Every structure is written in structure tokens, then in C-alpha cells.
Amino acid sequence: MLPSRYVKHSPASHESVSVQVLVLGDIGRSPRMQYHALSIARHGGRVDIIGYFESPPHPELLTNPRVQIYPLASPPSVIQLIPFIVAGPLKVLWQIWTLIRALGYQTQPARWLLVQNPPSIPTLVIALIISVLRNTHLMIDWHNYGWTILAGTKGENHPFVKISKVYECVMGQVAPTANITVTHAMKRQLEQEPYNVTAPILVLHDRPASIFQPLKSLPDRRDFLERFSETKDFASNIMAGETRLIVSSTSWTPDEDFSLLLDALVTYAKQDNAPPVTAIITGRGPQKALYEQKIQDLENAGKLPNIRIRTAWLTMEDYAMLLSCADLGVCLHMSSSGVDLPMKVVDMFGSGLPVAAYSGYESFDELVKDGVNGCGFKTADQLAVILRRLFTEKGSTQLQNLRKGAERESALRWDEEWDRVLGRVIGVID
């Protein structure tokens, strides 16, 4: 039995706009797609979010009556015990079944299907099929390229990588009604070989949501630092500027080389009279246990004197507050494609937090302005130099100026950017 089809409302109203938002990943760890849903609902549209429900999503998604979440069933755990050459295809078959069931039968037909890419397989082809069967406009939100991420672990010449690249290029050419990219550099790349995307491409830069705000008062900072378990024992030292607080958010994957930060802190700690540093590392991912052991080994070897490194998993509210209370954010995102941008830096700017970020990719300058709202580095030694410069008494003025630059950047918000770029396209703004 074929899925029901979308029937266009005439005359169309904002309330008649319906959108399926597809994330073949954890909804709670997909902030951009959550923000899409909230923007559509804020203007009266109806949103169905389809994805894995593993970590808590944005609180407003759970309370907004115009948003419905449809959790995808995770693949059976037994698949993880099978060799990749067999488990890979089985996982894809499972995903195909769950996607068709959710997009075609569990949800009502929608005017738009907005899909996050990557992952590309099998998301794009299923989204194309559903959009044809249900008379739905398909919009791809290009965060990165699936094949470049796969190449980071398999190598660019691996057969699966080559197939993935061809698949992604073909889907980009034939599938979408429209496209969104996170940078101008990605838009230029999609318009050229080998992608040759001809459908319209809109650039929607990531901007911080309203939950990320600069610190309002010093008492607020003290209250949080004294409440937060990872900082409560030395909150007074942080407040006095005697200990510097660093925050880094990571997915603990190979495209973020966490050893850069560890090596930089080891080098920094060798400096005489270097101010103590507390580094809070947030996030979940496959390499977390590996690096936690490396941190323990460095501490046991006495290579991190006056350095405290703690890992944590926070609610969005606590994470936003932690960013606003920190002295410096550190971003290790390396960009497999060279043309995406890290959402974590956007959140840091939204909280008025200056950043030290890895800068070795093309689109870096679209977000971080070196010396204005942050600093770029490519090696651990360069990061150590930045930490020494900013955390000494002489560097306090520069750090304060960078914070002012980050606060200016925080004035650019997601709601205004989304309304300007997508509001009329989706149909929720006249």
C-alpha cells in the first residue's frame, strides 16, 4: 500500500505549512535541525522530527504542541558483533525499513521534507523516494559530506568511499528541490565538479539559539561555579582569576584530534608561573575512554602540574551556562571536507566566549576572525603559545578584547538568520 500524498492548501496559510525534519542520528545532538524545527513551529507551522531519541533534545521541542517527535528504532545490538562487511549492509537495510515506515506511514504527508546530510546512506535515496511518493518538496541541509567523513577512517581510495562519493554526488544532482549549506565555501563547491548541483542553494550560517547568552552578572557566575560538581571545589580561585577555566566540546571522533589540546597543556604546564588551568571537556563519542586513559597516564607521570582536566555530559541549560562562565573555548574541529564549520564555536560566541580554534581549513575565516573574536592554531605548540599569551597578566587585556568581539558576534542570532534565509522559502513568512 502506497503512502498517502500531500495535498496543497489553497489559499495557503502559515498554519497549513507542514515539514518533516529527518536526522539519521541522535536528535538531541543535532542542534541545527532542532533549531529548524523550532523556527518553523514558532511561525505556526507543523513539524514532525524523525531521528534517534538518545539524549535529551531542546526543552522547547518537548513542550511545543506543533512539534511531534517520532523516534527511530536503533539497529539490533547483535549487528555490532558481526564483521563490518556483513554488519554494514545489514545496518543499512534496517535503516531503510525504519525510515520508510516513519516517513511514509507513521507521519502525515508534509509540504517539505528537510533532511540532514550527512549521513548520506541510505538517507538521501529514501528521502527522494518518499518525496516522490508523497508529493513533498525535498530540501537537503548540507552540514558536510558523508564520503569525506568515511574517508577519514577508511582512506580516500577505499571502494566504499568511492561508491559513497559517487552516490552523494548523484543524489545531490537529482534529489532536492532546494539545498542549504552552512558556508559560502560549501555552496561554491557544490556548484562545481564533481557535485554539479543545479537546484537552488541557500547559505544559512549557523547562529546561536536564544539559550546561549553572555554572562549577565558575576553573582550568576559564582552561583553556577559553586553548584557545578566539576568546579565547586575551586570556584573562588576561578572567580579571582587565579585559575583559568577552559571549555571544549568534542564528539570524541578521529576528525577532532584531542591530542592537540593534551600536548598543548603539557607544554603550557612547563612554563614557570603559568596560571593553573581547569579544562572541562563535554561530549560523548567512541574515543572518550581512550583519551580519558591518556589523561590519567599524563597525570600519573606528573606532566600536568596545576592542570585539571575533567570530562562531563551536561544538559543544554548547564552547557550554555558553563560556556558563559569560562575564560576560553577550545575547538579541535578539523573539517573532513574543508568547507563546513563547527556549531560548537557558534554556541561559544553566543555565550560571549572567545575561542582558540583549529584553523587549517578553507571556511575557517567565515566564522572566526583571528585577533577579533578568537585565535587560530594548527599545531599543539601554537595552541600552547596562545594559552600562555592570554592567561598571563600581560595578556588579560587581549583576552578581554576577544571576549568583547565574541559578544558582538553573539548579537547575530539564529531566529533572525533563519527568517531572512528560509522563512519565505518554507512558506511560514509572507
The amino acid sitting at 61 is: L
- Grid cell for residue 68: 511531534
Q: What 3-state DSSP class applies to 256?
A: strand
The reported pLDDT for the residue numbered 10 is 66
Q: Which residues of 273-309 are buried (b: 16+ CB within 10 A; e: fewer)?
A: ebbbbbbbbbbebeebeebeeebeebeeeebbeebbb
214, containing H or E segment = none
Angle, helices 259-269 vs 380-391, to 10°: value is: 50
Q: What 3-state DSSP class applies to 159?
A: helix
Q: Which residues contact 195 (CB under 8 A, 6 or more apart)?
A: 169, 172, 173, 189
The reported pLDDT for the residue numbered 358 is 95
Peptide bond into 276 cis (omega under 30): no
Where are any strands of DSSP class E within 269-427?
Answer: 277-282, 307-312, 328-331, 355-358, 374-377
Contact 426, 40 (CB under 8 A): yes
Q: Which residues contact 393 (CB under 8 A, 6 or more apart)?
A: none
CB neighbours of residue 181 within 10 Å: 25
- Grid cell for residue 155: 582512506
- Grid cell for residue 92: 543499512
The reported pLDDT for the residue numbered 203 is 96
* Nearest alpha-carbon partner for 166 in 134, 194, 190: 194
The reported pLDDT for the residue numbered 155 is 86
Contact 71, 53 (CB under 8 A): yes
The reported pLDDT for the residue numbered 222 is 94
The percentage of residues in the chain with a pLDDT greater than 70, rounded to a whole number, is: 99
Q: pTM value?
A: 0.86
Q: What 3-state DSSP class applies to 313?
A: coil
Determine how β-strand 112-117 pairs with β-strand 18-26: parallel
Cα torsion angle, 250, 205, 413, 118, sign = negative
Could you give the CA distance from residue 121 to residue 96 in angstroms, rounded to a whole number?
9
In the block, cell 602540574 appears at 305
Q: Is 424 exposed, middle or buried (0-12, 13-18, 19+ CB in 10 A)?
A: exposed
In the block, cell 542542534 appears at 31
**C-alpha atoms less than 13 angstroms from C-alpha of 64 in its C-beta half-sphere:** 24
* Nearest alpha-carbon partner for 35 in 419, 414, 426: 414
* Nearest alpha-carbon partner for 37 in 21, 60, 22, 13: 21
The reported pLDDT for the residue numbered 40 is 96
- Grid cell for residue 328: 576560553
- Residues of the chain under the 70 pLDDT cut: 10-14
